[in-house]
Structure 1
Amino acid sequence: MIEHVKVLAALVIGSASFLGSVQRSSATTSAVTAIDILLNPDETVIKAAEAVNARMLRDFPKGFSLDATHRPHITLLQRYVRTADLDNIYTVVDRIFRKEAVTGFKLKATKHYYIPSGEIGLSGIVIETTADLLRLQQELIDAVAAFTVKSGTSAAFITAPGDPEINQGTMHYIEVFVPEHSGTKFLPHVSTGIATRAYLDKMMAEPFESFTFSPIGAAIYHLGDFGTARTELRAFDVK
């Protein structure tokens, strides 16, 4: 779990400049696409995450905003897949979400956390791992396995015209998501922003009132640099 957190910090810290740039999707032109299969949380989580994000931006204005291109979400699986198989992936993933009653999952936000990187840190809300999440993640891993490739280049991601290269940390993270960040090493979370460590230390000392929530949707996104879910490729009906 500690290694997961360290890699997560490397992926997201420094994302501010990228998040404000113009996007270019290569999903239809590259042979490989980097995807994120995720859950969309209900309004309870969105409001909580946006409230923390507003605090982060007041302390560190260069951080990222939670907006249309960086919505609060819970990543279940990140993989490199063959672009030609995207329609097949949508079909098998849709079958899983039609079977799993994800809106009935009772999830619990347990605490704030942050990952230090120099004088700043990435903040987030930790979600308690449940048997439902682990079962769903494994079903997705198994379903997508036939369409997965070991690695990808920058062409597998959404990139900015002036910055077409994806950092090596991002590319490696997706290569090893299974098994290094899945199963017993899975750490569900919702990223909330970047702030100075001095400010985050004060926030960590504040009491956290845990709350429960349920997912309201699921989707596959095309990934950008620093592991950001940049463009929705397919949304799924859930029950």
Structure 2
Amino acid sequence: MKKRFIAMAVSLGLLSCAPKKDNIIAIDVLIIPSEEMDAQALKLNSHIHQNNPETIKLDENHIPHITLLQCFINATDLPKVNAALEGLHKAIPQDSLQAESLFYYQDKEESFAMVRIEKTKSLLKIHKKTIELVKPYIVKNGSEESFVQNPDGSPIRESTVIYVPEFIEKYSYENFDPHISLGVAQKMLLDSLAQHVFKPIQFEAASLSVYQLGDHGTAQKLLWQSE
């Protein structure tokens, strides 16, 4: 009777010898800029989005930020990642961040634009320390399901999925390019924004946070934030 029950349970999926698959999530460890820089990024993006409604719109679900690390982790390891990052925000010197320029490709009629942040020794040190602290929890085999899904049901872009596990190898250390993404617009508009709207300012890190990534590498779902 007992053997018959076990056989029935297995056939119904009540019992399984297969190991439970971990839920893998794509995360962005990032710096939230202080209010003045945040306001400028939102203003620049507003002009860009009016010019091109198809590009990203910075808002509460797509917050302005400076990425320190993108990677895949097991969701069960998120508390360990958060604990490892605790206190790192305090290591960022006050007024150590500098908005250098409005960067875009000036040889193209339409270009992706971003606020380029000066890669100072202190910022590079924080970037390297972030990788060191999170690296024990990084996994490679994430998928589209690791991201916050698009509201319209469209699939996460393959380029977004591929970018995350390549971040350390291709976009870190000497290749680290700190910036705040703004979206795609026509060069004529970007020329005007660079001349009349963008201001090179020094600013602080309001917080260090962990977000779950959405499509196009957007920071969408807050998972943890420094105090």
Question: Which of these residues, 186, 189, 201, is aligned with residue 179 of structure 2?
Answer: 189
TM-score, normalization by structure 2: 0.82
Q: Which deviations, in whole Å up to 9, do the C-alpha atoms of 1:12-38 show, x marking residues without a partner?
A: xxxxxxxxxxxxxxxxx9621100001
Task: Verify: 1:80 aligned to 2:36, yes or no.
Answer: no
Q: Residue 168 in 1 paired to residue 158 in 2?
A: yes
CA distance 1:81–1:218, change in 2 (3 Å) = same
Give the alignment partner of residue 60 of structure 1, picking from 38, 47, 52: 52
Gaps of 5+ in 1: 1-28
Kindly tell me the number of residue pairs found equivalent between the two proteins: 207
Which of 189, 195, 211 aligns to 1:199? It is: 189
Deviation at 1:184, TM superposition (A): 1.1
CA RMSD of aligned residues (A): 2.4
Residue among 26, 29, 44 paired with 2:36: 44
- C-alpha distance after superposition, 1:184-217 (max 9, x if no partner): 1111111123322332244446695421111111
Structure 2: segments with no counterpart, 5+ residues: 1-20
**Secondary structure of 1:123's aligned partner:** strand
| 2:99 aligned with 1:109 | yes
Structure 1 residues 163 and 116: CA distance shift in structure 2, 3 A: farther
Q: TM-score, normalised by structure 1?
A: 0.78
Deviation per CA, 1:106-134, whole angstroms, max 9, x where unpaired? 11111111258985322111100011111
Give 2:148's match in structure 1, choosing from 149, 158, 164: 158
| Alignment partner of 1:235 is 2:208 | no
3-state SS of the aligned residue for 1:104?
Answer: coil
How high is the sequence identity, in percent, across the aligned residues?
29
Worse-matched range after superposition: 137-146 or 110-119: 110-119
Q: Letter of the aligned partner of 2:88 in structure 1? A: I
Task: Summarize the Cα distance change of 1:235–1:201 in structure 2 as closer, same or farther, 3 Å threshold.
Answer: same
1:218 to 171, 194, 208: 208
Q: Is the 8 A contact 2:85 2:133 kept in 1?
A: yes
In 1, Cα distance between the equivalents of 2:129 and 2:225?
A: 18
CA displacement, residues 138-185 of structure 1 (integer Å, 9 cap, x when unaligned)? 111111111111231111111136536322211111111002111111
Higher CA-based Rg: 2
Instruction: Tell me the distance in 1 between the aligned counterparts of 2:176 and 2:46.
Output: 27
Give 1:146's match in structure 2, choosing from 127, 136, 139: 136
- Tell me which amino acid in the other structure corresponds to 1:182: S
2:86 is aligned with 1:94: yes
* Alpha-carbon distance in 2 for matches of 1:193, 1:68: 16
Q: CA deviation at 1:96?
A: 3.0
